[in-house]
Amino acid sequence: MRFSRVLVTGGAGFIGSHLVERLLEAGIDTVVLDDLSVGKRENVPTNATFIEGDVRDPHAVSAAMSGVQGVFHLAARVSIRASVEGFYGDAETNLMGTLNVLRCCATARVNKLVYASSMAVYADSPRPVPIPESYDTVPLSPYGVAKLACERYVRLVATQAGFQSVALRYFNTYGPRQTFTPYVGVITIFIRRLFLGEAPVIYGDGEQCRDFVYVGDVANATLLAMQSDVSGEVLNVGSGAGTTVNRIATLLCHRLDPTIRPQHVAEHAGEVRNSIADIRKAQRLLHYDPQERLEDRIDEIIAWNRQTSPEAGRGGQE
> Which residues does the annotation mark as catalytic?
143
Q: Which residues contact 269 (CB under 8 A, 6 or more apart)?
A: 84, 140
Report how far residue 59's alpha carbon sits from residue 221's, in angstroms, rounded to the nearest whole number: 30
Report how far residue 188's alpha carbon sits from residue 181's, in angstroms, rounded to the nearest whole number: 9
Of 181, 158, 60, 145, nearest to 110 by C-alpha is 158
Q: Which residues of 137-166 are buried (b: 16+ CB within 10 A; e: fewer)?
A: bebbbbbbbbbbbbbebbbebbeebebbbb
Report how far residue 227's alpha carbon sits from residue 221's, in angstroms, rounded to the nearest whole number: 10
Encoded amino acid at 257, one letter? D
Of 263, 123, 254, nearest to 206 by C-alpha is 263
SS3 label, residue 111: coil
Residue-level length of the chain: 318
Q: ∠ CA 7-229-160 to the nearest 5 degrees?
A: 70
